[in-house]
Amino acid sequence: MDRRVLIIGVGLIGGSIALAIKKEHPDAYIIGYDLNEENCRLAAKMNIIDMCADSFESEAISSDLIILACPVEEVEQKIYQLADLPLKPEAIITDVGSTKAKIMQKSAVLREKGAVFIGGHPMAGSHKSGAGSAREHLFENAFYILTPTSDIEEKKLSELKNWLKGTEANFVVMEPEEHDMVTGVVSHLPHLIAASIVRQVESHAGENERVRWLAAGGFRDITRIASSSPAMWRDIVKHNQSSLLSLIDEWIEEMHFVKTLVQESDENNLYNYFSDAKKYRDSLPVRARGAIDAFYDLYVDVLDTPGIISHVTTLLAEERISLTNIRILEAREDVFGVLRLSFQTEEDREKANDCLKQNDFETYLNM
């Protein structure tokens, strides 16, 4: 009998996990459930899942693997609903939430019923959403955090890793509290800071319209993450409140230190502050995939001539290289403008770089 997988939430993450499971376990029968029925039907039509369920309860009781690929607030609700069902004793339940401590606490109700719950967080994503954006290789080389409780048998953890083998992700086992602190430092706090900087610019723009004009360039780039889903980040902040409050206190202390540097305006101290930050930032892995989705950008010099953008995109399409975004940074008549092409993977960017260079375009990886 085919093994059955139930994915609750068939969006970008849930759909991509479904594709990865299909690749490694072609015998698995994958059922999808989504509050957005149209999204679920699209997933079935695209063969991301084998069937779209009207009710997750009826499918959960016969599933060998249940993946909660929904927002963290909904994960909590589904945990309690699953706890009331006669699940298969050997079934594994996991989630993909960006916070873990609170979810693991809530999952105790499942473990009390003898169910196996292993927290999960695949650290990969995209600016796109929905089943139509699902990709089999979305998690390739990304970190996939697993937070099993101490009573979980090693064979169950290995079984889950085997189910997810097709993601080609790097599995890392952590304590839930460690996960929330680490992701708080490198992902959650930066999102809060980016949003706060945007809000500050917005307040000044109300007094001086030129602020808005000048913010249209590099400022947009350094605050890209502030464009993430407000609903998702509302829930993440609520779930990781404890870690974030501690980190915000640290950030306030750092800003007090920076304020002192600015007040004293000592040349050596200012230089050392920026130099130390540059050294550490430059030492970070370039190709590794971290907690915040990387932006794989390629810059291309182009003349302001009719059809130049379609020419560039046609060249990439012919090589089956997928673009995620394209933006004109500067274009003036009779001089070079710059196209910023964004890709989902480093591999796509490298292919695009080679393709365009072969067609006599001047390209840059950084600007």
CATH number at residue 149: 3.40.50.720
Residue 146 contacts residue 157 (beta carbons within 8 Å):
yes
Report strand pairing: 336-343 vs 296-303.
Answer: antiparallel
Q: Quick check: is 51 in a domain?
A: yes
Instruction: Assign 1 a pLDDT band (cuts: 50, 70, 90).
Output: low
Tell whether 18 and 158 lie within a shared domain.
Answer: yes
Task: Please give the tally of structural domains in the chain.
Answer: 3
Look at residue 332 and tell me whether its pLDDT is greater than 70.
no
**Quick one: average pLDDT of 298-303?**
82
Q: Is residue 333 part of a domain?
A: yes
Separation between Cα atoms, residue 192 and residue 257, nearest integer Å: 20
Judged against a pLDDT cut of 60, whether residue 279 lies above it is answered with yes
Given a cut of 90, is residue 251 above it in pLDDT?
Answer: yes
Query: Do residues 187 and 263 both lie within one domain?
Result: yes
What is the chain's mean pLDDT, rounded?
88
For residues 90 and 168, membership in a common domain is answered with: yes
**Last residue within a domain, chosen from 283, 310, 328:** 283
Looking at residue 164, what is its pLDDT?
A: 96
Band of residue 336 on the pLDDT scale cut at 50, 70, 90: low
pLDDT value at residue 334: 43
Range of lowest pLDDT (133-137, 157-161, 187-191): 133-137
List, in order, residues 6 or more apart from 155 with CB less than 8 Å away.
none
What is the tens place of the pLDDT at every residue in 4-25? 999 999 988 999 999 999 999 9
**Residues 188 and 133 occupy one common structural domain:** no
Per-residue model confidence as pLDDT tens digits over 74-122: 999 999 999 999 999 999 999 999 999 999 999 999 988 889 999 999 9
Do residues 8 and 138 both lie within one domain? Answer: yes
Can you state the angle between helices 241-264 and 176-183, rounded to 10 degrees? 30
**Taking residues 285-302, what's their average pLDDT?**
70
CATH code for position 215:
1.10.3660.10
> Is a pLDDT exceeding 50 seen at residue 335?
no
pLDDT one-digit tens code per residue, 40-54:
898 889 999 999 998
Do 201 and 80 lie in a common domain? no
Residue 24 lies in a domain: yes
Q: Are residues 188 and 79 in the same domain?
A: no
Residue 341 pLDDT > 90: no
The band of 260, judged by pLDDT with boundaries at 50, 70 and 90, is very high
Amino acid 331: pLDDT: 44
Residue 257: C-alpha distances to residues 251, 253, 273 (Å)? 10, 6, 10
* Inside any domain, residue 185: yes
Q: List the CATH number of the domain containing 335.
A: 3.30.2130.10
Which of 152, 174, 196 marks a domain boundary? 174
Q: Is the pLDDT of residue 267 over 90?
A: yes
- Band of residue 329 on the pLDDT scale cut at 50, 70, 90: low
Are residue 170 and residue 189 in the same domain, yes or no? no
- pTM, 2 dp: 0.77
244, 146: one domain: no
Averaged pLDDT for residues 227-235: 86
Q: Identify whether 290 is part of a domain.
A: no
Let me know whether 310 and 331 are in one domain.
yes
Contact 149, 176 (CB under 8 A): no
Structure confidence at residue 321 (pLDDT) = 86
| Same domain, residue pair 170 and 233 | no
Residue 186 counted as domain residue:
yes
289 domain-assigned:
no
Sheet with 29-33: strands ordered across: 51-52, 29-33, 4-8, 65-68, 92-95, 116-122, 143-147, 170-173
Q: Tell which wins on pLDDT, 347 or 247.
A: 247
Could you tell me if 35 and 180 are in contact, meaning their C-beta atoms sit under 8 angstroms apart?
no
The pLDDT of residue 79 is: 96
pLDDT bracket for residue 367 (50, 70, 90) = low
User: Is residue 126's pLDDT more than 70?
Assistant: no
As a whole number, mean pLDDT of residues 267-273 equals: 96
Helix (H, G, I), strand (E, B) or coil at 172: strand
- Mean of the pLDDT values across residues 188-208? 92
Phi, psi values for residue 230, rounded to 5°: -60, -40
Domain residues for 357? 296-364
CA dist 158 and 74 (Å) reads: 26
Do 222 and 345 fall within a single domain?
A: no
Q: Mean pLDDT across the stretch 157-176?
A: 95
pLDDT cut 70: percent of the chain above it: 92
291 occurs within a structural domain:
no
**Is 333 a residue whose pLDDT tops 70?**
no
More confident residue, 318 or 65: 65
Which of 139, 155, 174 is the C-terminal boundary of a domain?
Answer: 174
Q: Provide the pLDDT for residue 201.
A: 92
